[in-house]
């Protein structure tokens, strides 16, 4: 591979924003690519992949490069150089890479990877928390899986098409996909690509949605004609799937505390041809109170640590802290208690997270069921999805029935 200075400068600019200014990796990249429209698709691919690789393996490469936060440009270039040498690329004779010796770097690497926290690049606190929560062996396995690059998975929107017709259409547009056994609406791209420019996307034939995430809406068993509340709807990943499963019939209320997310949801709903969705911002506790005992189904896709989706958001490793995990657990506790009341007797609630931590998952549900608010509920089924086993994101879902 030949390095081009304008591209490596772009990589360094994005890393500075992500590591030193706390920018989200996807946003930093989006803005960089927007400002460099002259880059061709290969160049864009190089920049995006290099940034994500370095974000994913930050701790390992920073240690090898002897760089400490906040990183100077010289630090970041040394990190980039160490990454490139370990990938087998030869470095151009630029002053930014001077002093980087391949043998020395390989020796340092061989030594560091003996420790999981360097090999898998995680902060100490997270490594401890994961090992304490899941056990050493399971945590090692999950961390390794969470550091793989995620495949691009689409969900065929059955309000507009079928998985088979979508596959044919995408092939016509130059994108090869495979069905995934056990995931009826999922198509996996054979090669990573930007599918948002396709006619199929513009026509609302699919959403990009990980295979594990596609399990959540069916878990709620919502059908046409029901009154369904998606209590933490965000930009609507699960809401759109629910609308399709409800065949556009019945009422689907999408709630969230952030109106901007709901606006995005409404844009997506129009494209998807989902017409039974009503988006409502939670501006006060009254919004939820008025719905008490009214819904046939309630989905609580709770805010969480996001530890199950680190493959997609590797920068979360560096942005999370123990305080955030504690706060989010408290929020989950509150939401489970308050939002479950929206379901009517005989109705069902699904509590879901994209985390693999028991404290956010089955322990949270067990605590709810033991408490006062959980007295009228019973657990019908639960499923924990682990990236090492399924090859997709980590998720958890529990289906509860209101019996009293």
Ligand X SMILES: C[S@@+](CC[C@H](N)C(=O)[O-])C[C@H]1O[C@@H](n2cnc3c(N)ncnc32)[C@H](O)[C@@H]1O
Task: Say how far apart CA 374 and CA 376 lie, in whole Å.
Answer: 6
**Which residue in the set 282, 366, 373, 379 belongs to the binding site for ligand X (CB under 6 A)?**
282
319 binds ligand X (CB under 6 A): no
Residue 382 φ then ψ, to 5°: -145, 155
* Closer by beta carbon to ligand X, 130 or else 234: 234
134 binds ligand X (CB under 6 A): no
Instruction: Give the binding range for ligand X (CB under 6 A) out of 24-32, 119-127, 234-242, 371-379.
Output: 234-242
Angle, in degrees to the nearest 10, between helices 25-34 and 41-56:
160
Residue-by-residue DSSP string for 129-152: HHHHHH-HHHHHHHHHHHTSPPPP
* Closer by beta carbon to ligand X, 79 or else 352: 352
**Which residue in the set 85, 153, 232, 309 belongs to the binding site for ligand X (CB under 6 A)?**
232
Q: Is 256 annotated as a binding residue?
A: yes
Residue-by-residue DSSP string for 23-40: --HHHHHHHHHHTTTTS-
Tell me whether residue 354 is one of the annotated catalytic residues: yes
**Which residue in the set 94, 258, 275, 324 belongs to the binding site for ligand X (CB under 6 A)?**
258
308 binds ligand X (CB under 6 A): no
- Least distance (Å) between residue 116 CB and ligand X: 27
**Which residue in the set 261, 271, 344, 362 belongs to the binding site for ligand X (CB under 6 A)?**
261
238 binds ligand X (CB under 6 A): yes
- Least distance (Å) between residue 50 CB and ligand X: 28
235 binds ligand X (CB under 6 A): yes
Task: Say how far apart CA 183 and CA 211 lie, in whole Å.
Answer: 7
- The distance in angstroms from the start CA to the end CA of the chain is 65
Instruction: Give the binding range for ligand X (CB under 6 A) out of 13-21, 229-237, 243-251, 272-280.
Output: 229-237
**Which residue in the set 81, 163, 204, 234 belongs to the binding site for ligand X (CB under 6 A)?**
234
Beta-bridge partners for 154 = 187, 208
297 binds ligand X (CB under 6 A): no
| Contact indicator for 202, 271 with CB cutoff of 8 Å | yes
**Which residue matches tokens 């980590």?**
394
* Closer by beta carbon to ligand X, 258 or else 324: 258
Q: Checking DSSP bridges between strand 295-301 and strand 227-230, what pairing results, if any?
A: parallel
Q: What angle do CA 208, 252, 370 make, to 5 degrees?
A: 95
Cα–Cα nearest to 56, from 364, 332, 335, 318: 318
Task: Say how far apart CA 221 and CA 350 lie, in whole Å.
Answer: 9
Tokens representing 341? 């009341």
Cα–Cα nearest to 61, from 42, 44, 75: 75
| Contact indicator for 276, 300 with CB cutoff of 8 Å | no
3-state secondary structure of 385: strand
324 binds ligand X (CB under 6 A): no
Q: Is 321 annotated as a binding residue?
A: no
Instruction: Give the binding range for ligand X (CB under 6 A) out of 12-20, 21-29, 173-181, 228-236.
Output: 228-236
Instruction: Give the binding range for ligand X (CB under 6 A) out of 18-26, 58-66, 167-175, 232-240.
Output: 232-240
280 binds ligand X (CB under 6 A): no
Enzyme catalytic residues: 354
Residue ranges of the annotated binding site for S-adenosyl-L-methionine are 256, 301
Binding residues (CB under 6 A) for ligand X: these are: 231-238, 255-258, 261, 282, 301, 303, 335
């Amino acid at each position: 591979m030949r390095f081009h200075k304008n591209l490596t400068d772009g990589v360094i600019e994005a890393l500075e924003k992500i590591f030193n200014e706390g920018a989200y990796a996807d946003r930093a990249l989006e803005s960089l690519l927007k400002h460099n429209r002259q880059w061709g698709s290969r160049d864009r691919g190089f920049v995006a992949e290099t940034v994500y690789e370095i974000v994913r393996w930050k701790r390992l490469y920073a240690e090898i490069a002897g760089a400490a936060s906040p990183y100077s440009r010289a630090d970041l270039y040394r990190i980039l150089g160490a990454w490139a040498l370990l990938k087998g690329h030869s470095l151009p004779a630029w002053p930014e890479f001077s002093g980087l010796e391949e043998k020395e770097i390989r020796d340092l690497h061989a030594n560091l990877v003996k420790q999981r926290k360097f090999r898998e690049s995680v902060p100490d606190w997270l490594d401890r928390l994961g090992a304490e929560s899941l056990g050493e062996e399971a945590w090692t396995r999950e961390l390794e899986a969470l550091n793989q690059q995620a495949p691009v998975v689409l969900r065929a929107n059955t309000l507009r098409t079928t998985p088979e017709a979508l596959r044919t259409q995408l092939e016509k547009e130059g994108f090869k996909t495979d069905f995934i056994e056990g995931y009826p609406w999922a198509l996996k791209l054979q090669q990573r690509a930007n599918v948002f420019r396709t006619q199929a996307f513009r026509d609302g034939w699919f959403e990009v949605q990980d295979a594990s995430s596609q399990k959540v809406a069916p878990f709620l068993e919502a059908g046409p004609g029901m009154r369904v509340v998606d209590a933490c709807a965000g930009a609507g990943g699960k809401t759109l799937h629910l609308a399709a499963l409800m065949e556009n019939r019945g009422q689907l209320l999408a709630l969230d505390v952030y109106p901007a997310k709901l606006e995005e949801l409404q844009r997506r709903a129009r494209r998807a041809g989902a017409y039974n969705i009503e988006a409502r911002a939670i501006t006060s506790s009254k919004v939820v109170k008025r719905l008490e005992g009214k819904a046939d189904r309630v989905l609580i896709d709770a805010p969480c640590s996001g530890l199950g989706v680190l493959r997609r958001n590797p920068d979360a490793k560096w942005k999370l802290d123990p305080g955030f995990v504690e706060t989010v657990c408290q929020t989950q506790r509150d939401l489970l208690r308050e939002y479950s009341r929206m379901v009517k007797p005989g109705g069902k609630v699904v509590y879901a997270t994209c985390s693999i931590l028991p404290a956010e998952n089955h322990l949270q549900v067990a605590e709810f069921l033991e408490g006062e608010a959980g007295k009228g509920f019973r657990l019908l089924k639960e499923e924990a999805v682990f990236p090492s086993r399924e090859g997709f994101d980590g998720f958890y879902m529990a289906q509860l029935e209101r019996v009293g």
